[in-house]
Structure 1
Amino acid sequence: MSTSSSRPAQSTPVSRGISPRSLYRVVATLEMVTWALLILGMIAKYALHMGDLPVRIGGSIHGFVFLAYCVSTVLVWTDQRWPAAKGILGLVLAIVPFATLPFEKHVDAKGLLADQWRVARHGEEPAAAQERASGPAEKLLAVILRHPVLAAIVLLVFISGLFAVLLQAGPPTEWGK
């Protein structure tokens, strides 16, 4: 369980919308739940002989949420300035069933998730506990924070496009055959 002393100093949240902590908790939970859907679909297919449909449904939902989790991991990793090993671990653990929520709890307990974005929105003066973006990744994040609805649409289109490409490629077990 995290304590307030393990978290970064918090001031009044200045960003409208979802915080890094809330975003990461939601996508980590959804990623874990969709793992369960995929596994239930596999049980339905292989143990109950219900055909491909349960895996296709569970796999599609899980695949989309998996990509959203990976994008969210990179956004939070960039903003919170996680060490590279921590960010990579967050991405790798998305492959392990049910590992994303324990990882989210771990980084929260270590004080690596905040109630507000560290990077100030593009074109705005940084508020208390915020900084101007430095480097290309933080500058992109600042634009995303400045235009969250547009960014959400663009990210949704990006994830959907990548998802469509992966659907065309078929299951990972079929790649390279």
Structure 2
Amino acid sequence: MKQSVRTWFRWISYLEGASFLILLGIAMPLKYMFDSPEAVTVTGGIHGFLFTIYLIAIVVMAILFRWKIVRIAGAVLAAFLPFGPFVLERRLKAEG
């Protein structure tokens, strides 16, 4: 069961990180450079949903794997940094 939760967390991390990069790298430039706010509306909604799922996934991982508060804080902080979820996932994978 822990392995399936771990795989679920990996997918959520990747999706949340990708949605953040799309929001910052594509949707925001479209909004401000080409006066197309629809891109931010759609992408922002998707990212908001994935961010919420990511936070829930952190709680599940913290309970199942007995994460310390520092790990939990780092996982939450990773969501606010471009490429943060990818770096976190790489560290978790390295730890086994």
- Between the two proteins, the alignment pairs up a number of residues equal to 95
What displacement does 1:108 show? 2.1
What displacement does 1:20 show? 2.5
Q: Does 1:46 align with 2:40?
A: no
What displacement does 1:78 show? 1.0
Report the counterpart of residue 58 of structure 2 in structure 1: 73
Report the counterpart of residue 10 of structure 2 in structure 1: 25
Q: Does 1:92 align with 2:72?
A: no
* TM-score computed with the length of structure 2 as normaliser: 0.89
Name the Cα RMSD after superposition: 1.6
Counterpart AA for 2:27 = G
Counterpart AA for 1:60 = G
State the Cα deviation string for residues 32-54 of structure 1 (Å, max 9, x = none).
1101221211010111222x211
Report the counterpart of residue 56 of structure 1 in structure 2: 41
Larger radius of gyration: 1
Which aligned pairs between 1:25-174 and structure 2 lie closer than 5 A? Answer: 25-39=10-24, 40-50=26-36, 52-111=37-96
> After TM superposition, where is structure 1 displaced by more than 2 Å over at least 4 residues in a row?
none
Counterpart AA for 1:95 = F
Q: Which ranges in structure 2 are unaligned for 5 or more consecutive residues?
A: none
- Higher RCO by CA contacts (8 Å cutoff, separation 6 or greater): 2
Q: Distance in 2 between matches of 1:36 and 1:95?
A: 11
Q: Distance in 2 between matches of 1:107 and 1:47?
A: 38
Instruction: Kindly indicate which of the two structures has a greater share of residues assigned to helix.
Output: 2
